[in-house]
Every structure is written in structure tokens, then in C-alpha cells.
Amino acid sequence: MTPQTRPVVLIAEELSPATVEALGPDFEIRSCDGSDRESLLGAIGDADAILVRSATKVDAEALAAAPRLKVVARAGVGLDNVDVKAATQSGVMVVNAPTSNIVSAAELAVALMLAAARHLSPAHAALKNGEWKRSRYTGIELYEKTVGIVGLGRIGVLVAQRLSAFGMSVIAYDPYVQAGRAAQMGVRLVDLDTLLAESDFMSVHLPKTPETAGLIGADELARVKPSLVLVNAARGGIVDEEALYDALKTGRIAAAGLDVFAKEPCTDSPLFELENVVATPHLGASTDEAQEKAGVAVARSVRLALAGELVPDAVNVQGGVIAEDVRPGLPLTERLGRVFTALAGEVAQQVDVEVRGEITEFDVKVLELAALKGIFHDIVEDQVSYVNAPLLAAERGTAVRLVTDAESPDHRNLITIRGTLVDGSQVSVSGTLVGLSQKERLVEVNGFAVDLEPTDHLAFFTYEDRPGVVGTVGRILGESAVNIAGMQVSRDEKGGAALVALSVDSAIPAEALDEIAVAIDAAKVRGVNLV
């Protein structure tokens, strides 16, 4: 490229020299202070790509000021400062570095555990105040204690490995990990109640979802050992902070190490008043190594994006040489993967991604990756990409197969995700695109034919066919202020097994799902939240 034709890459925050080196000589590199709004808006106008960390806000206004922009690269994991929806609407790719901080985050969790166990924070403060309090700050060892890992994803595994080296017995709760896979790592998989009862130390490593918010609350903390040391370096809000404060204040648990909070920045919390709390300001990714890995990773993604190649770490618009006929199926397939996981409630031993119809004349391997990306989206704490999705499947012992067939009797094209669970049962979900606008439709769930738009909030009830069920479901949802947007009833035969499939305007409360399950004597109830 000549200097006049080189794409412009705007670096809006200080990044490591390795980031610029990874970009190479093919771009015109410019810099600005992204935290200065006027400076940012003045500089982004002719940029083809922008690299940011956390201080630069790339919102609809900034995107509107950048007509040439093709990619926003966040040198880190979180995307709170990037309006992904607005970028997608503008056709701008957003990339991040989903695995850049996993070692740093795991090490910080261990550091918090050690600091809380040995009272390092108050002992340090006392010594700086001229007080020598050896007897007051007697701690406990990690050696030969039991640590419960809540969430055995990538960071959870790294923490388990490191704590095993301390001579700890490691147990874990993760409904999406198979016991055999955990056993290979020397980890005993247990249910949450067992983990709460047996743990001397607990470390949380789950993604923040509607299902995990408040997972460790007053009821759970009432069932643990009073000697428990609890660490949360994952996401704020998974541990109920009010319940945690009460448990620490009353001696219900011994100590806590916290790096994340329900609302951030958090500089004023009752938890900070307690000597048995060691807290840090979300430092999980704050190491030189993590920042360099993040910068280099997104620099490589920018190179791929501006070259028109597949960008595995794109979180919205997938780049790459993908047939135009295949591309519309990517978001549908990801959504089917997320519905599949909600229906299964666990990780399948075998997953088949079946693609049928005219689309099979093209290379559809990317649809297998899209299915895995959706399947693991709500399971792991990491950002799932086309690169790490197959690795996540392998880590959890899931065999994956792509099946193609040019014949599709009922639909022009049909995508099905079919999985075999540990007990041998099968889960399946199928979807297609209809009309000139290529609207997404669910057309099959666990063998039942349906025709439903896969909206953000869905629910599925399997029961024995009989009168009155639909009315009962509608009544309970109405009493819970949940509005039904669409409903399908399907059955294999009169009086046989039946399925109610719903799209609703808001998430159905767990209490309402439980009430429906009892009221209709449901064989299976599943709520699906895709926001």
C-alpha cells in the first residue's frame, strides 16, 4: 500500500508497544485522548479502525462521526464502553480480547483468598499506623482444606489447578461440566448444596446472567461453615452484597475477598468497613501481561477485519469469506445454540449440527462454529468466539459433528442442533429463515413441530395432553404480569405428550415457572432468556 491509501487506525488510549508492532506497517497509526470527547470526535472522522481500553466511550454519537469506521477494538474483555447495538446497526465490527486476562484473573482470585485467610489488609494497615498486632491477626492455612469452585470455566479451572498445588481438596459446582471431565482435572463435581456444606474456602467464577444473579444469597450463606472464606473475582451481583455484609458482620462466615461489585465504580460500601474483608477495585485484568496480550490480540483482529478476513473474536458482525447465502444463518444458529443449552440444562455428550437444503452447496462449517458459540454463550464466564468454542466443547468432553443434506422436504433450508445428554436422552431445536426479510423462526423443539419467533424471552412446557392447560398457563403468567407475545401448542397424538411453546415480553420469574410446573403436572419446564 502507498502511504496515501493506507487505512487509518486510531489509538485512543495508551496501549503497549507490542500492540503497534502487531499492527505492522500497513496502516497509518494516529493517536488521540479518547477520554476527551472533543478530541475523540475530532479524530475519529476518517478512521477505519479505533483501538480503545475502558476510558473511551464509543457510542452512537461517536459512530455517527466516523463514516469510514469498520472496526472498534476493545483491548480487554468488557464492552461496557462500546455501544455494540449501535455499532451493529452501523455495520461496524466490534472485537475484544476474551482470553487475554484469564491467568491474571485466576492469580488475583488466589491472592484474595490468601490475603483474606491471613488478614493481610488489616495487619498491613495496623503496622502502618504503628501497631504491632501479631496475636490479633492469626490466620488459617489453605493446606488440606476444601475449596469449592463455583463455575468450572477457564478461569475456574486455572484457579483449581493453582489451589491443588497448595495441597487443597478441590470440589466444584457447574451444571454444564461433566463429572468425568472434572475428575480428569482432579476435581470432584458436586451440587451447590454439597459445595456450600463442605467448603472451607469458596471462589466464584460464573458469568453474570439472570440465573446467576444473587446465586449466593442469605439462604446459601446460612448453610456454610462459619469458618468459610469467600472470594468473588468474577462478576458483581452473583454474591448478594447485603447478605454477605450481614454474614460477615455477625460471624456467620469468617472472611471475604472481593474484586467486583454490583455497581461499579464502588468506593462507598458497608463491606469496606469490615476488617475481615479485603477488597480491590476490579483489578482482575490489571497486569502488564494481560494488557499486552489484549493489545496484541485486538491488533491482529483489526488486521483481519480490514483485510476482509474472518475475525474469530468479533462479537457482533462476523467478517471473513462466508458465502452470502450462509451469512444470514449465523445469528439464527447462535440463537438456536442458546435455546438448546436452556432446554438441555447441561452440557451434551454429543452434539450434531444438522444443515439441510440449498444452503449445503456452500461451505457451512461456520454454522457448526456458530452453534457452539451459542451453546456455550450462557455457560462460561469467558467471551465465546469462533476460535475458543471448539476448545470449550473439547474441554467439557462434548463430541461435535456437522451433518449436511441437500434434501429438506419442509423448508428451503433447515438448521437443527441435536444433542445426547448424559442419561441418554436427546434434546433438539430447529430453525429456519422465512420470507424476503429472512425472519428467524423456531420450527421444532424436542420433536414437536412449532412455528414461533425466537424472541428474547421464551418458555417451553411439556405435559400430558388434556383440556385446561393453556388457560392455566395464561392465568399464572397474567398474575405474574408477563405478557404472552406468541404461543404454539403441539402434540404427538391426542391425549399424548404435548408441548406449549411461548414467546413473552419479559423474563418469567422462577416462582411462576415452578407454579406452572405444579399446576399442569409438567414433565419438563424451561425458561429461556436470550438478552
Catalytic site residues? 235, 264, 282
Q: Retrieve residue 434's grid coordinates.
A: 422465512
E strand map for 320-390: 350-357
Task: Give the helix, strand, coil percentages of the chain, each rounded to 5.
Answer: 35, 25, 45
**Using the 8-state DSSP alphabet, how is residue 178 labeled?**
-
Contact 282, 259 (CB under 8 A): yes
- Per-position b or e across 474-493, b if 16+ CB within 10 A of its CB: eebbeebebeebebbbbbee
- List Cα–Cα distances, 15 to 18, 52, 178, 225, 403, in angstroms: 8, 8, 39, 45, 44
The residue with cell 383440556 is 467
CA neighbor of 345 nearest in space, from 85, 139, 528? 528
DSSP 373: H
Query: Beta strand 426-434 with 169-173: parallel, antiparallel or unpaired?
Result: unpaired
Say if CB 323 and CB 367 are below 8 A apart.
no
DSSP 458: E
Residue whose C-alpha cell reads 495487619 in the numeric block: 123
Cα 30 to Cα 301: distance, rounded to the nearest angstrom: 18
C-alpha distances out from residue 7 to 168, 300, 307, 361, Å? 53, 15, 10, 35
Residue 146 near residue 200 (C-beta atoms within 8 A): yes
Task: Provide CB contacts within 8 A for 243, sequence distance 6+.
Answer: 216, 217, 218, 221
Q: Quick one: which of 390, 376, 373, 368 has its CA closest to 347?
A: 376
Instruction: Tell me how far apart the alpha carbons of residues 466 and 273 are, in angstroms, rounded to a whole number.
Output: 58
- The DSSP symbol for 82 reads B
Preceding omega of 7 cis (within 30 degrees of 0): no
Give the C-alpha separation, 210 to 132, whole Å: 46
Q: Are 503 and 486 in contact (CB under 8 A)?
A: yes
Q: Over the Cα atoms of the chain, what is R_g?
A: 25
